[in-house]
Amino acid sequence: MTSITLYIAQQLVKRAIGGDDDLDDSPDITTPDDGEGEEDPVTEEIFSSWALFILLSLLCAALWSSYFLQQRRIKAIHETVLSIFYGMTVGLIIRVSPGHYIQDAVKFNSGYFFNILLPPIILNSGYELHQANFFSNIGSILTFAIPGTFISALVLGIILYIWTAIGFDGVKMEFVDALAVGATLSATDPVTILSIFNAYKVDPKLYTIIFGESLLNDAISIVMFETCQKFHGQQVRFSSLFEGIGIFLVTFTISTIIGIAIGILVALILKHSHIRRYPQIETCLVLLFSYESYFFSNGAHMSGIVSLLFCGITLKHYAYYNMSRRTQIATKYIFQLLAQLSENFIFIYLGLSLFTEVELVFKPLLIIITFISICVARWSAVFPLSRFLNFLYKAKFKEFTNRNFMNGGISSQAVPDEISHSYQMMIFWAGLRGAVGVALAMGLQGEAKWALLATVLVVVVLTVILFGGSTASMLEILGIKTGVEQHMDSDDEFDIEAPRLPISIQPTPFNSNNNLMGNRRFNNSRPGVYQDEIRSRNESSASLSSNKTPNMNDNIPDEDDDMISDGDDLISNFQTSSTENGVLGAFLSAEEHAKWFTRFDEEVLKPVLLDTIPKKDNDNSN
């Protein structure tokens, strides 16, 4: 018996050190097309277990240091940078240690990235999105996202093409490939922005613009990349440009529709079934349907990111009120958890892949040039566009003041909503590149592939470390308002409305968000009936929520106080955004649209989509 124990002990130690010798007692019988899956599961399990163990340990380390930094209020160094360094360190160790199994297992896999890591982040962004802020800044967001990304990709592409044409590094590529690389490197990263700006709780307007931009321009650069790939090896005609733009616009619209449609579908299912009596199944279905929107959209060559984002928003706007209380809480917590894990993991993954991607070919010069041209491209996107936006603001403000003298109205709250120079600078600085770029770069073709991939990877890591690491000091230098958000680290399970985004004004999301949401989603306009509207619905929601959980009453009052100022603020926001889109003429008619849509949302959509008496339903389900 003891001898056996000894034998086992030896086995253990031997295995625990390095599993390679497992290969002896199990020949590798991989079938080409489904990778490691078909090996001897026992052996396979050992390696994947170690790989996963390492990754999870890294994740623990990252989360722990994130806690530590928050706890110690250390802002000089940021967790994301730490995560990357952890990843790099372990990646190096794995690289030098014998046996390629673990190394292969922890390689950056764009499939995993797009199908596992990205969706939770996008979904959570949509679900926790502060709709008021987002849709009141939709103009600036779209401006920076769409033309911004085009400009940046174009500039990058041209510079890279010229550089490679000179041919110092012996890297040769067509213009479309250069453009493709430009596209991959124009995707600013929602993950980084989210985590850094949440930590510093910057002024919501700035936050929303940067966050919204980074969220949307991933979608745009993906579409651009795909389009460029389509032209790979072909002759590029001038019409291609328009075709590309056409493809993008169609993709964006259809993706949005898919997302909203699925959100509404869920709302209807929840309303017209008794599934809320089985909250576990309900929660699963909500999660599954939102994922369906992502995968369907991707499968149909649309933008899954856009679909998922709008699906999340729609879910929160309609379906949320048809859910059982338990599902409301469960979805919130689960989406947050998944998002948090993915966010932390992505950085580790990037750090790891620097060393675990064996085929990479590093071209120092090319990397430097690319890094510089990124800054140039970002610069030439941000500043002209901000100037353009500011011009619109000014014009609109003149228009607006005139209007106010007509119906001596709410001029008091109306302030010129310009993007100050410090904000412009910050938007420029926030242009870190993220994992989306790397994942896209995996799909590059041609002999330059590995050089370009290496370049993209290094540049992305550099931007995150340099820009990300210096964001804190940048915020101070530019004197940007931070620490605005207050409810951040509450762990009371009843603040299921606690906004993820920092916001100075605190509307009751039950009301103003939806309302805004309703208004903004279909056209950007200005509801006249706003304040009474809010107040009435606020009371209803107060009573409603008190019926669910008495504890919520504690929050209601102060939120009530905010409501009026909020209402006004929103209105000024509306005016802003209604011309941010440059539709100066539509300003008068906007109000009509607003009234029309608010009525439509209240009298048609809500009754159709929501349980008219959510309280009662919740009682049923208990």
Of 231-270, which residues contact a copy of itself (CB under 8 A)?
Answer: 232, 242-243, 246-247, 250-251, 254
User: Which range of residues in 150-158, 185-193, 339-347, 414-422 is near a copy of itself by CB under 8 A?
Assistant: 339-347
Nearest to 181 by CA among 457, 420, 380, 399: 457
**Residue 322 found at the interface with a copy of itself (CB under 8 A):** no
Least separation, in Å, of the C-beta of 16 and a copy of itself? 5
b/e 179-192 (16+ beta carbons within 10 angstroms → b)? bbbbbbbbbbbbbb
Judged by CB under 8 A, the chain residues 350 through 379 that form the site for a copy of itself are 359
User: Which range of residues in 31-39, 139-147, 502-510, 590-598 is near a copy of itself by CB under 8 A?
Assistant: 31-39
Nearer to a copy of itself, 243 or 592 (CB): 243
Nearer to a copy of itself, 26 or 420 (CB): 26
Tokens of 496: 């299921």
User: Which range of residues in 61-69, 135-143, 402-410, 462-470 is near a copy of itself by CB under 8 A?
Assistant: 61-69
- Cα–Cα dist 510/545, whole Å: 10
C-alpha to C-alpha distances, 346 to 33, 131, 195, 340, 453, nearest whole angstrom: 26, 26, 12, 10, 17
Nearer to a copy of itself, 356 or 519 (CB): 356
The identity of residue 486, as a single letter, is Q
380 in Cβ contact with 410 (< 8 Å): no
Q: State which of residues 80, 327, 463, 573 lies at the interface with a copy of itself (CB under 8 A).
A: 327
Draw the binding track, 63-102, toward a copy of itself (x: CB under 8 A; -: no contact). xx-xx--xx----------------------------x--
Q: How many helices (H) and strands (E) does the chain have?
A: 26, 0
Judged by CB under 8 A, the chain residues 281 through 300 that form the site for a copy of itself are 281-285, 287-289, 291-292, 295-296, 298-300
**Residue with tokens 């989603």, as numbered in its chain:** 521
Q: Is 443 exposed, middle or buried (0-12, 13-18, 19+ CB in 10 A)?
A: middle
Nearer to a copy of itself, 118 or 594 (CB): 118
Nearer to a copy of itself, 75 or 326 (CB): 326
Judged by CB under 8 A, the chain residues 550 through 609 that form the site for a copy of itself are 550-551
Judged by CB under 8 A, the chain residues 102 through 131 that form the site for a copy of itself are 104-105, 107, 109-112, 114-115
- Cα–Cα dist 10/278, whole Å: 50
452 in Cβ contact with 178 (< 8 Å): no
Q: Is 495 exposed, middle or buried (0-12, 13-18, 19+ CB in 10 A)?
A: middle
Least separation, in Å, of the C-beta of 121 and a copy of itself? 14
Q: For a copy of itself, how many residues bind (rule: CB under 8 A)?
A: 122
**Residue 433 found at the interface with a copy of itself (CB under 8 A):** no
Q: State which of residues 10, 35, 592, 603 lies at the interface with a copy of itself (CB under 8 A).
A: 35
Nearer to a copy of itself, 437 or 518 (CB): 437
**Residue 273 found at the interface with a copy of itself (CB under 8 A):** yes
Nearer to a copy of itself, 46 or 368 (CB): 46
Q: State which of residues 473, 536, 549, 612 lies at the interface with a copy of itself (CB under 8 A).
A: 549
Q: State which of residues 89, 229, 380, 470 lies at the interface with a copy of itself (CB under 8 A).
A: 229
**Residue 544 found at the interface with a copy of itself (CB under 8 A):** no
Give Cα 166 to chain centroid, integer Å.
37
C-alpha to C-alpha distances, 248 to 11, 146, 228, 467, nearest whole angstrom: 58, 10, 12, 29
The helix-helix angle for 364-406 and 556-580 (nearest 10°) equals 100
Q: State which of residues 57, 553, 565, 612 lies at the interface with a copy of itself (CB under 8 A).
A: 57
Judged by CB under 8 A, the chain residues 370 through 429 that form the site for a copy of itself are none
- Cα–Cα dist 341/472, whole Å: 23
- Cα–Cα dist 295/289, whole Å: 10
188 in Cβ contact with 337 (< 8 Å): no
C-alpha to C-alpha distances, 22 to 42, 52, 100, 102, 492, nearest whole angstrom: 9, 18, 13, 13, 49
**Residue 337 found at the interface with a copy of itself (CB under 8 A):** yes
Least separation, in Å, of the C-beta of 3 and a copy of itself? 9
Nearer to a copy of itself, 49 or 543 (CB): 49
Nearer to a copy of itself, 50 or 211 (CB): 50
Nearest to 236 by CA among 153, 176, 166, 312: 176
